[in-house]
Amino acid sequence: MTMRQAIAEALAGLTIGSVLYDEPMSHHASLRLGGPADALVAADDEAQLAAVVRRLTQKGIAFLPVGNLTNILVRDGGYRGALLWMRGWDQTAVSPGPDGTYFLDAQAGAALGRVVALAAAEALAGVEFCTGIPGSVGGAVRMNAGAYGKEIKDVVSRVTVMNKEGRVHQLRREEIAFAYRRSGLPADTIICGARFVLTRGDAGRIRARMSEIREWRQEKHPLQYPSAGSVFKNPPGEPAGRLIEELGLKGRRLGDVQISKKHANFMVNKGQGTAADMLELIRLVQETARRERGVALEPEIVIIGEER
């Protein structure tokens, strides 16, 4: 029995929003490359998702939650198992909190841009640093996304998660081992949503800061080509992009994947790039940094799946 057949058998009889089998990730990932997932499963609500997770766990089938696929590289051989697509989980709401604060609740699939826009519309300050980050709330929490000296951990107060048995519970900020570009949550823990604590601010200043960040990103980042954002975490004391440029690798190209000429910590797909091309460039950067500087560069993007 193939993995696709095993997944279909496991999900038989369940009500699910949609299931796409042998679905190429190049159709969905921001990189526009990557092999197929055995199944891309989109549950409509928490009850459906819990039922799916329980079945997959019972059958020993691997699964991984994904959002907007902006920070994931799927190897060309594809992912063996089910990717749980949270994209439709995009509800957001604002409510009063204690001591003059406000809560902004967002489901895991909500784009960070939507969260930032809602906060600005309500004149709430605190998440402007997320302007232009292309990921979803779930991905941002999992990787503790950040920019301009702030991180998700600075504004999140609790996270709603589902375990591999389909049980849902909430974790307080203090219960999550946030660190630089990681949350410490197990890979099979599904983030369902998060609550952010914001404060009342001046609407004009909030929008001005958002515009400033947006203009900076347009100037510095290669937004005209498909990418997954920053490829490497910054090593202590130096931005990864500057290090890669100093190593003479800026603009290096393999097939249709290129280390951006605009920002050396971005790799862009200039047309028909493959995951193999990108992985080879990643290895080249890592080996050069280790040999020339004694620096171990750790990928910021999540790499999954099998070689072709």
Active site residues per annotation? 181, 230, 300
Q: What is the Rg, in whole angstroms, of the alpha carbon atoms belonging to the chain?
A: 20
Cα separation, 48 vs 166, in Å, equals: 10
Cα separation, 174 vs 169, in Å, equals: 15
Q: Greatest CA separation found in the chain?
A: 60
Cα separation, 111 vs 101, in Å, equals: 22
